[in-house]
Amino acid sequence: MRPPFVIFALCTALAVFMDLACSDESPTEDRARDEGNGSSNSEGSPSSPQGLGGELGVSGEGAAGAAGSPEAQLSELDREYPLHGLVTGLQLRVRRAPDPEAEMIGWLRIGNRVRLKRGSTRTSTCNSGWYEIHPQGFACAGQGIEVAETPPEGDVAVSPPSREEALPYQYWFVKDGMVPQFHQLPSRDAQRSAAELSERVLELRRTEHDARAGRVLAGEIPGEPQPPAAVHRFLDRGFFVAGLGSEVRADRRFVRTVRGRYVRQSQLIERTGSEFTGVELNDERTLPVAWVVRNTELRIRRERHDGEVVYVRDVDSAPLERHAVVDTWLRRENVDDQVMHVLEGDRYVREWFLAVAEARERPRGVGADEPWVHVALGQQTLVLYEGDRPVFATLVSSGQEGFTTETGLFTIRQKFVADTMSNIGDGNDERYSIEDVPWTQYFSGSLALHGAFWHDRFGLTRSHGCVNLSPHDAHRVFDALWPHVPEGWLGVTTEAGTFEGSHVLVTE
């Protein structure tokens, strides 16, 4: 039995929080449940210096074994936020004040660990108590936080996202049509029933009986296969799920998703993302930086006997491979309305084979020490600055034709370690669902900077309006830009004025 000072969280029902990515739908809708009305005791015992744990990023002064009194050994974090919290609710909101109507300033995700101040504020909507969370804000324990003097072991079998790796979760591509996603590890009978329904619906769709297929899927036609209670939903081919390991039942392996559901692994393909990385800039390595965005060959300038200038293939030079950095780039040159890149050694490359990141003046309103980014749509490049100093440059993929990325000067308005993006409305020819897109930073509506593990076309347009970066580069930019997401949090918003957001300049 747990000691009396442990507060058990009363978790509400899990829900999938799906947001329409890179479109007009607001990414804040249905982000978390309303605050609950838990009823745990909020009193605790004297604070303990134990259990800071490496996952909290706490180190230095006050570690166990240091000289001095016990009080002197406590770190500032221990003194100010002595309690430990394990998030057991799928996703819950952090508010500016202990009030369900207070402005929202951030989100917590199941499996994360946070530090809390001692004592809580009970309200009519939160009997379990609102706790102040490090570094700021309040959350209702009854919504899904187990609170204790030492790090709770808990019954939550969900690991927090990795903040140190290029990808915070495992990601899986759904390779088959109508793949069942189960509430829990399914029995053979549940799998068989789900497979029968999938096969029947797919058969009706192949024969253009879409209306009947929809009714069968809804369980509206007697005599047809019925939707099994064990199935949460069916996944389209091309969807992506975020996973946290796998489990085996009846000799079949299932991926366990971040939301605690299960998908048969044989119907998935793991995606680890592109290994492309940008260029760190310093006094020795600065702008401009040029990359190859389409495989090509060097050319030599020749003048024909009639005076016409032509560029012929240099047979003695090695081909230029996509995503290679071109250190010999000098400038662009316009000859007879033909733009060529000029390289050292009198070598040339046609314009559309290279992308070049070049310096940009700091826009008015951007602070002298502020981290900010410039996205050049014409070149498909991004440069990260610290004030006037460029520190990192890379390739991106912005909106393709029909989904043009908006230009202007923006600020980061919401920022998530991972956030689901989807468009799965009925009758939608471009249905997609990507669980927990990594390193997402919204700057205009649902347009965001984010990692894209599903393609490797950086340097070319590809998205529905967002600015795609490779996983490594998205992580690099995420860590650099304001606001910083506190340890143990899933995301924050700058819209309440609590956190300050970096600027994002997008130009043609």
Give tens-digit pLDDT for 216-234.
Answer: 999 999 999 999 999 999 9
Give pLDDT, residue 384. 99
For residue 7, pLDDT over 50 is answered with no
Last-in-domain residue among 157, 184, 210? 157
Question: pLDDT for 254-277, tens place per residue?
Answer: 999 998 999 999 999 999 999 999
- Shared domain check, 146 and 121: yes
For residue 105, pLDDT over 50 is answered with yes
- Shared domain check, 309 and 213: no
pLDDT band at 74; cut points 50, 70, 90: low
Last-in-domain residue among 319, 354, 389? 354
pLDDT band at 22; cut points 50, 70, 90: low
Cβ atoms of 372 and 382 closer than 8 Å: no
Domain ranges, residue 328: 292-354
Question: pLDDT for 177-193, tens place per residue?
Answer: 999 999 999 999 999 99
Give pLDDT, residue 425. 65
- The span from the CA of 201 to the CA of 130, in Å, is 47
For range 368-393, the mean pLDDT? 98
- Shared domain check, 457 and 321: no
- Shared domain check, 124 and 21: yes
Residue 173's alpha-carbon distances to 81, 204, 364, 431, in angstroms, are 41, 24, 43, 14
- Shared domain check, 348 and 379: no
- Shared domain check, 423 and 348: no
Kindly state whether residue 283 falls inside one of the protein's structural domains.
no
Give pLDDT, residue 335. 77
- Shared domain check, 498 and 433: yes
Give pLDDT, residue 41. 34
Q: Which of 124, 169, 144, 149 shows the shortest CA–CA distance to 52?
A: 149
Tell me the one-letter amino acid at 190: A
- The span from the CA of 321 to the CA of 459, in Å, is 13
- Shared domain check, 484 and 386: yes
- Shared domain check, 387 and 491: yes
Instruction: Compute the C-alpha angle 326/327/333, nearest 5°.
Output: 70
Question: pLDDT for 319-377, tens place per residue?
Answer: 999 999 999 999 999 977 889 999 999 999 999 999 999 999 999 999 999 999 999 99
Q: How many domains does the chain have?
A: 4
Last-in-domain residue among 124, 157, 190? 157
- Shared domain check, 219 and 301: no
pLDDT band at 68; cut points 50, 70, 90: very low
- Shared domain check, 430 and 405: yes
- Shared domain check, 500 and 390: yes
